[in-house]
Amino acid sequence: MPGSTPASATAELARAEAPRWFSAIGDFVHQRPLGAIGAAIVLVMVALAATAGWLAPYDPLETDYGAMLAAPDAKHWLGTDAFGRDVLSRIVYGSRTALMVGLGASLLGAVFGSLIGVASAYFGGRVDLIVQRVMDVFFAFPVIILALAVVAVLGTGAGNVILAIAAPMIPRCARVVRASALAVREMPYVDAARAAGYGHRRIILRHMLPNVMAPILIMATAFLGEAILLEASLSFLGLGVQEPTAAWGLMLRGAAVQFAESAPWMAIFPGLAISLAVFGFNLFGDSLRDALDPRLRTQ
Amino acid sequence: MARYILKRLLAMIPTLLGVAILIFLLLRVVPGDVVEARFMTQGSQFLSQELMDIERKKLGLDQPMWQQFTTWMGGLARLDFGVSMWTGGAIGEEIKLRFALSLQLALMASTIATLLAIPLGILAAVKQDTWVDYTVRVFSIAGLATPSFWLGILMILTMLTVFKWVPPMVFTPFWVNPWENLAQLIWPALAVGYRYSAVGTRMMRSAMLEVLREDYIRTARAKGLWLKLILTRHALKNAILPVLTVISLEFAFLLGGLVVTEQVFNLNGLGMLFVEAISRRDYTLTQALVMLVATIFLLVNFFVDIAYAWLDPRIRYS
């Protein structure tokens, strides 16, 4: 803070706390308008998920056979599906499934991926070589094929879908984090930690991991959107989250395609929800990457 | 160079072996096997252990795992995929039909992705931080966010309501009736190509931005060269490599990874075959498909590296 003496600095800081917080958001919105839009979409989605029970006009599982395939009107804003379930309510509740699977899978993928990546870089030599070869094997599978294989082993359902989506993400995260960790390993403070006699675990967790947080964060946000998309794909195939749970991909399955012509709202709105959510996470993640990765900073 | 090529080719063998072991074990961890799956679909109430054992013996499933594995490996070494456990037909034949479709779709989608990515990426880079740049970025991020199967549903829906026309739902090989064939495949290719162009566009944009800051571009500008000439002759050549890499690597995955899009457009490609095979616990077919996709991925990787050395004289492999 220019012009402030050290003595008054603390008081000034306390006073400036709230406005500075606001101006930080203001700066972000000003400098990265796309990122701000993304953040806004993400926030709306989190708010939807948190208040679904209060916000949704109907119970997402409640069937109304008197109002099957009803077109959007004042009663059902986005129409109803083949069981007479309110599409809007199912989309609102579906945000919970998407967020849960997305967050769960990217967290799992990022945690295990970065641990493997950092450990591989730290130990180097033969360990690194073997880990890299194993990662190569996983890389040779298309993401969805690997996820399908894991679902075949574990079975369907939200919990297993999280594992199935995290599985292909682990090697991807490990590779990126390893590359950053290789540079960190050469830092004097890692040598110092080793000279001080710290154990491997302490050096990896306390000294190296915090210094590769930026790429991990970037990977994790990039995964989030991808995980939501993968969950939708698996559910659409009938191999993900199971009925009657409200999930966007599941809503596009079966009747939505079958009655697409007479009841297009069933096919349009859940897909719109998926796209918008992934769009928000990607925009936000992109700006985060630009902000955290100095190489990508323009000018 | 020849030594490098040989070394790279040999290095593929352990990776492929790893893929083989992984899928072999993964399949055997999956609950149930092909015999159970078949009895289930027949709805047979007489699930006698004896009958199942006889069936398993016929398929060689009673043998110890290492023996099953070595038999499979022996076949692969002779490029013999064996027979499908479900249909009993030769796997080579089963895959051949699907492969033609998947290959064509992947080629078309990659072409569309390239044609979208390169001009859009250049445009965004040249007009960096203007509304043009923002529009291109929003367009490409939206492509990445839109599930291609949903885009496919929307396409079919639009054609149905607006044009009262649906693309043909039965696959016609290109050499039989090219028009019919393209009328069917262009839609999934567009849906998938748009999605995959996004990665290429972003790559093109950032590579172009980097190149445009190089000294020789400034020199070219100072000389008073046309911007168009600078972009096509000087900048594009240096910026295009990573874009082509990304798109060719995606190409390998498009071959086997379009499971959901194939489902929407009712295409019997490799992706659908994989889902079918795994749900029937058809070990041999699933293994063959995975090996095929993995081999193609590694080969594409290999060719991209070779192409790099050939296109960029600064890169030399030893």
Interface of B with A in 266-285 (CB under 8 A): 271, 274-275, 278-279
**Is pLDDT at A152 greater than 90 in this prediction?**
no
What is the per-residue pLDDT for A298?
45
Contacts of B231 (CB under 8 A, 6+ apart): B122, B126
For residue B140, the SS3 value is helix
CB-CB under 8 Å, A237 with B15? no
Q: What number is the ipTM of this complex?
A: 0.84
CB-CB under 8 Å, B294 with A141? yes
- Span B280-284, mean pLDDT? 86
Give the total residue count for chain B. 318
Instruction: Classify residue B214: in a domain, yes or no.
Output: yes
Which member of B16, B142, B275 has the closest CB to residue A237?
B275
Q: Where in the sequence is the domain holding B212, given as residue range(s)?
A: 97-282
Comparing C-alpha atoms, which of B211, B193, B213, B215 is closest to residue B203?
B211
**Is pLDDT at B50 greater than 80 in this prediction?**
no
What is the per-residue pLDDT for A15?
55
Q: Measured between alpha carbons, how far is A277 from B159 in angstroms, rounded to an integer?
A: 26
Is B153 at the interface with chain A, CB within 8 A?
yes
| Nearest CA-CA distance, residue B39 and chain A, Å | 18
Top-confidence residue, A291 or A146: A146
Top-confidence residue, A144 or B169: A144
Task: Report pTM.
Answer: 0.86
Q: Are A240 and A234 in contact (CB under 8 A)?
A: yes
Instruction: Classify residue B36: in a domain, yes or no.
Output: no
Comparing C-alpha atoms, which of A113, A66, A88, A61 is closest to residue A223?
A113
**Is pLDDT at A99 greater than 70 in this prediction?**
yes
pLDDT tens track for B6-25: 888 888 888 899 999 998 88
Handedness of CA A238, A239, A241, A244 (dihedral sign): positive
What is the per-residue pLDDT for A17?
58
pLDDT tens track for A20-68: 777 777 777 777 788 889 899 999 999 999 988 888 888 888 888 877 8
Provide the residue type at B213 as one letter. R
Instruction: Classify residue B221: in a domain, yes or no.
Output: yes
Q: Are A136 and B15 in contact (CB under 8 A)?
A: yes
Q: Measured between alpha carbons, how far is A86 from A67 in angstroms, rounded to an integer?
A: 9
What is the per-residue pLDDT for A3?
44
- Reading the block at residue A112, the tokens are 């295990």
- B-interface mutation test, from A136, A221, A286, most B Cβ less than 10 A away: A136
Contacts of B178 (CB under 8 A, 6+ apart): none
User: What is the interface size between A and B, counted as CB pairs within 8 Å?
Assistant: 130
Q: Measured between alpha carbons, how far is A145 from B145 in angstroms, rounded to an integer?
A: 20
Q: Give residue B45's pLDDT band: very low, low, confident or very high (50, 70, 90).
A: low
Top-confidence residue, A66 or B316: A66
Interface of B with A in 27-56 (CB under 8 A): 29-31
Q: Measured between alpha carbons, how far is B240 from B251 in angstroms, rounded to an integer?
A: 16
Q: Give residue A16's pLDDT band: very low, low, confident or very high (50, 70, 90).
A: low
Instruction: Classify residue B137: in a domain, yes or no.
Output: yes
Instruction: Classify residue B139: in a domain, yes or no.
Output: yes
Q: Give residue B257's pLDDT band: very low, low, confident or very high (50, 70, 90).
A: confident
Comparing C-alpha atoms, which of A247, A67, A31 is closest to residue B147?
A247
| Nearest CA-CA distance, residue B296 and chain A, Å | 9
- Span B149-172, mean pLDDT? 83
| B234: Cα separation from own chain's centroid | 32
- Span B228-256, mean pLDDT? 83
Residue with tokens 């992706």: B271
Number of structural domains chain B divides into: 1
Q: Measured between alpha carbons, how far is B235 from B208 in angstroms, rounded to an integer?
A: 7
Provide the residue type at B47 as one letter. L
Q: Measured between alpha carbons, how far is B163 from B30 in angstroms, rounded to an integer?
A: 46
Q: Measured between alpha carbons, how far is B307 from B301 in angstroms, rounded to an integer?
A: 10
Q: Give residue A162's pLDDT band: very low, low, confident or very high (50, 70, 90).
A: very high
What is the per-residue pLDDT for A273?
93
- Span B285-312, mean pLDDT? 86
- Reading the block at residue A144, the tokens are 């969805």
What is the per-residue pLDDT for A229?
92
Count the alpha carbons within 13 Å of B184 in the hemisphere toward its beta carbon: 21
Instruction: Classify residue B311: in a domain, yes or no.
Output: no
What is the per-residue pLDDT for A2?
46
What is the per-residue pLDDT for A11?
55
**Beta-bridge partners for B83:** B90
**Is pLDDT at B318 greater than 80 in this prediction?**
no
Contacts of A20 (CB under 8 A, 6+ apart): none
Contacts of A95 (CB under 8 A, 6+ apart): A45, A48, A49, A52, A273, A277
What is the per-residue pLDDT for A10?
55
- Span B286-296, mean pLDDT? 90
**Least CA distance to B22: which residue of chain A?**
A137
Q: Give residue A4's pLDDT band: very low, low, confident or very high (50, 70, 90).
A: very low
pLDDT tens track for B89-147: 888 888 888 898 899 999 999 999 999 999 999 999 988 888 999 899 889 888 889 99
What is the per-residue pLDDT for B245?
83
Instruction: Classify residue B200: in a domain, yes or no.
Output: yes
What is the per-residue pLDDT for B86?
81
| Nearest CA-CA distance, residue B157 and chain A, Å | 6
User: Which chain A residues contact residue B293 at CB under 8 A?
Assistant: 140-142, 145
**Is pLDDT at A299 greater than 70 in this prediction?**
no
Which CATH number belongs to the domain containing residue B187 in this structure? 1.10.3720.10
Instruction: Classify residue B225: in a domain, yes or no.
Output: yes
